[in-house]
Amino acid sequence: ADARAEASAAAAERAQISERRTASETELTSVRERLNQTGGEAKTNRRALEDARDEAGAVTNIIAGHSMKMEERQRKADEAAQRANKLTMDAGALDSRIRLLTEMEKEYEGFSKAVRLVCQAQSSLRGIRGPVAGLMSVERKFSVAIEIALGAGLQNIVVDREEDAKAAIGFLKQRDAGRATFLPLSAIRGDELRENGLEREYGYVGLASGLVECDPQYAGIFRNLLGRTVVAEDLDCGIAMARKYGNRFRIVTLDGQVMNRGGSMTGGSVSRSAGVLSRAAELKELHGKAETMNRRLAEAKTEAEELNRELEKARYELETAQGQQRAAEDEVLRLEGRQSHFDILLQSLRASLETLEGECEALSGRLAECDSRGAKAAADIAAAEAEAAGLRAKADEQLSGQTELLARAGELSESVSARKSHLAALRAEREGAALRGEDLQALKNDLSGDRSIREETLDAGRAAIARAEEEIAARQARAQALHGQGQALRDRLGTLDREKIELEAERTAKSRAGQEMNEHLLDLERTASRLEQKMATGSLEEKQILDRLWEHYELSHSDAQAQRVELESRAKANRRIGELKREISALGTPNIGAIEEFDRVNTRYTYLSEQRDDVENAGGEIRGVIEELTREMTGIFSQQFKLLSESFQSTFVDLFGGGQATLELEDENDILNCGIEIKAQPPGKTLKTISLLSGGEKAFVAIALYFSILKVHPTPFCVMDEIEAALDDANVTRYARYMRTLAGKTQFIVITHRRGTMEEADVLYGVTMQEQGVSKILTINLNDMAKELNIK
């Protein structure tokens, strides 16, 4: 019965464990499926994350490339702008220089007053062609040589006829404007130098007249001025040519040195930009430079505009790439969030899988244990039944006669057996129920722990899913908003591109219109300049006519209009004018301006008289001041000389150890202008002037005089340079010791080679050169050395 009860308990426990194992295996299968599904999703998300990171890295590289491109274009744009600005400044400076030289050309700057006046009066004087310098052009490299060769001839004025030159000379005389040289085309003839083999000489450049470009009608003028002048490369070549041809012609070098006919030479430094020819050549060169500069400036501005457009394009590409980078970074952040969610979920599922696998293994062990216990109980039951059958058979053999007793005994036995089996069953059921209760309690505890863990994991997963869904929704909303903004920006960009194209077209049209307006303005300015020039010429002509009217007839414009008479013919009027002029000339030259001349001279006389009186008064005052200063200086000098003489006597006695010395004035009535005589009498000698003493005595007397001056007027600082070189050793010692007595008021720096002077010094400084070219200074403080060596 016990065996059966144990077998039935084992069977019940086995059924319960089998049911729990089946549930665990079902849950384990479900967890594995979820783990596989989650792993696949995580793998897909990981591939997407890697792709997003690669895309973000690619966009970063693109941005770096665009940044470098934009920086390069920015640098090029800045350089182009700087070049344009520099060219603009250079063009402005060039225009200023051109305007300056042009104004100088118009005003005939560099010409004499007479030449300027004649050239500015060309409208009133007939036949004036202009100065020689304005009728030719020369290459820049020949300008110095031609300018030196022409010399004053540059300012010669070319006229048509001799009568024109006569009228111009009369014009200058009337205005007292100076003198000028005139070259009439009708009279000037010139020839050129002809020397066989001259053009083959080394350093020969050419005849000066051949290096000048001019109108053919002026060729005779320049042959006359330059036809016998040769231009050579340098002075050596010129000297060689002059020697070979016997100084028969004039030679000018390219740098302006001249070998005159006959052998004289003129040379020196020459300014290459001071003359009128240099100015004209510079002006021509500057016009060429201005055209080149303006062309380069236009090219630089075009290049700057093109580079600015490229810079804007690169900036737009960079901004587009930065937008792509932000989108890629947002996608990477989203995928990283999902990946972290999948990692947490996978970790939780793996933990659950490990827990279920452990539980299944435990249940399998307990099921095997239940099977072994059931098999053992079945074996015990079989043995007990076999033993009961044997006992029943033996009882049948022994108690065959006792049927009733046996029957009763059988009934009792059965009753007892039933009671015992029922009791055993109850005990076994109770024990099994207790064991099952314990197992169920343990299983309940296990399941409760697993469930709490799973519920926590499930809650965490649900919370993570909810957060992820919220984040996904927010990211999707932001992506939609960004997509909308991107679409709006793309639309706006398209609108801006169209507006940009329209504005560029409008700017091009306005630039073209501006250029046309500038050209029109320049035309108007040129027209206005011509009109102003005509007005100025007309005003000048009117002024000259009015001046001649006043000078010749002393009539103003209104008086002349009042006396105006209609002429029958111009020829008769000119003849009548000539007759009247001859009659006026016959009257002689009246001094009409005598009154004005008297007023002018009288005014100047009065002014000079007042100046003379002021000078005389000032001279008297200055002489009084000089006399007062002389008196003060005489008193001061007399007083100081007396002190110095007394000091000199005492100093001389101290230095020489006796004797006497005096300072005497040669003329006491004129002490400021007279000389001073020094008389000295060393011990044992007669009184002598200083000029009669020996060299050493002279030096010692001079030292005594100098020390006496220092005693009267001590100075804080004094430098002496070997003043005792002529003294013997005994006098050197006296000199040094006496200088020591003055060291309390004056600091002495003495340059010396004498031992006696060095012995009295406080500090010695010596200069030595142990290495060639390297000097060193050695210093010895004799006071410190005396203290260290205990020397008094």
Contact 251, 230 (CB under 8 A): yes
pLDDT of residue 749: 92
| Separation of alpha carbons 446 and 549, rounded Å | 142
Q: Is 273 helix (H, G, I), strand (E, B) or coil?
A: coil
In tens, the pLDDT along 53-78 reads 777 777 777 777 777 777 787 788 78
Token readout for 759 is: 């012995």
Torsion of CA 667, 668, 670, 672, to 10 degrees: 100
Whether residue 123 has pLDDT greater than 80:
no
| Separation of alpha carbons 67 and 319, rounded Å | 10
Token readout for 507 is: 């700017």
Containing 595, the helix (H) or strand (E) segment is helix 594-656
Query: In residues, how long is the chain?
Result: 792
In tens, the pLDDT along 227-259 reads 889 999 888 888 888 888 888 888 999 888 888
Average pLDDT over residues 217-231: 86
Average pLDDT over residues 709-723: 89
Compute CA distances 565 → 134, 557, 568, whole Å.
43, 14, 9
Please give the model's pTM, rounded to 2 decimal places: 0.32
| Separation of alpha carbons 436 and 421, rounded Å | 21
pLDDT of residue 273: 44
Domain ranges across the chain = 2-73+294-398, 111-274, 632-713
In tens, the pLDDT along 322-351 reads 777 777 777 777 777 777 776 777 677 677
Token readout for 64 is: 């770096």
Amino acid type, 252? V
DSSP string of 181-247, one letter each residue: -EEETTT--------TTGGGSTTEEEEGGGG-EE-GGGHHHHHHHHTTEEEESSHHHHHHHHHHTTT
pLDDT of residue 402: 47
Q: Which of 218-227, 282-291, 525-534 has the least mean pLDDT?
A: 282-291
| Separation of alpha carbons 56 and 61, rounded Å | 9
Containing 706, the helix (H) or strand (E) segment is helix 695-712
Q: Is 225 left (phi over 0), alpha (psi -120 to 50) or beta?
A: alpha
CB contact set of 725 (below 8 Å; sequence gap of 6+): 699, 753, 754
**Beta-strand (E) ranges in 307-399?**
none
Nearest to 9 by CA among 364, 385, 378, 359: 378
| Separation of alpha carbons 582 and 575, rounded Å | 11
In tens, the pLDDT along 16-29 reads 667 776 776 777 77
| Separation of alpha carbons 121 and 547, rounded Å | 13
Q: Is 769 helix (H, G, I), strand (E, B) or coil?
A: strand
Q: Which 8-state DSSP code applies to residue 275?
A: S
What's the CATH class of domain 632-713?
alpha beta
Compute CA distances 294 → 76, 92, 95, 665, whole Å.
21, 10, 10, 84
Average pLDDT over residues 190-212: 84
pLDDT of residue 136: 83
Sign of the torsion angle spanned by Cα atoms 781, 787, 791, 792? positive
How many CB atoms lie under 10 A from the CB of residue 736? Answer: 22
Q: What does residue 714 show for φ and ψ, rounded to 5 degrees? A: -65, 145
Whether residue 35 has pLDDT greater than 90:
no
DSSP string of 229-241, one letter each residue: EEEESSHHHHHHH
Average pLDDT over residues 185-200: 81
- The architecture of the domain spanning 111-274 is 2-Layer Sandwich (3.30)
pLDDT of residue 408: 56
Whether residue 533 has pLDDT greater than 70:
yes
Q: Is 578 helix (H, G, I), strand (E, B) or coil?
A: helix
pLDDT of residue 719: 93
| Separation of alpha carbons 114 and 658, rounded Å | 85
Please give the biggest Cα pair distance in the chain.
222
Q: To the nearest whole number, what is the mean pLDDT of the chain?
A: 77
Nearest to 29 by CA among 345, 349, 343: 349
Nearest to 172 by CA among 229, 84, 112: 112
| Separation of alpha carbons 108 and 102, rounded Å | 10
| Separation of alpha carbons 404 and 415, rounded Å | 16
| Separation of alpha carbons 361 and 248, rounded Å | 137
Token readout for 599 is: 């007023």
pLDDT of residue 425: 56
Q: Is 563 helix (H, G, I), strand (E, B) or coil?
A: coil
Token readout for 466 is: 């909810």
pLDDT over 70 percentage in the chain: 78
Contact 51, 58 (CB under 8 A): no
What's the first-to-final CA gap in the chain, in angstroms? 141
Average pLDDT over residues 437-451: 58
| Separation of alpha carbons 430 and 6, rounded Å | 11
Average pLDDT over residues 125-143: 83
171-187 burial: b if 16+ Cβ within 10 Å, else e? bbeeeebeebebbbbee
Q: Find out if CATH 1.10.287 is the number for domain 2-73+294-398.
A: yes
Beta bridge mates, 159: 128, 184
465 vs 680 pLDDT, higher one: 680
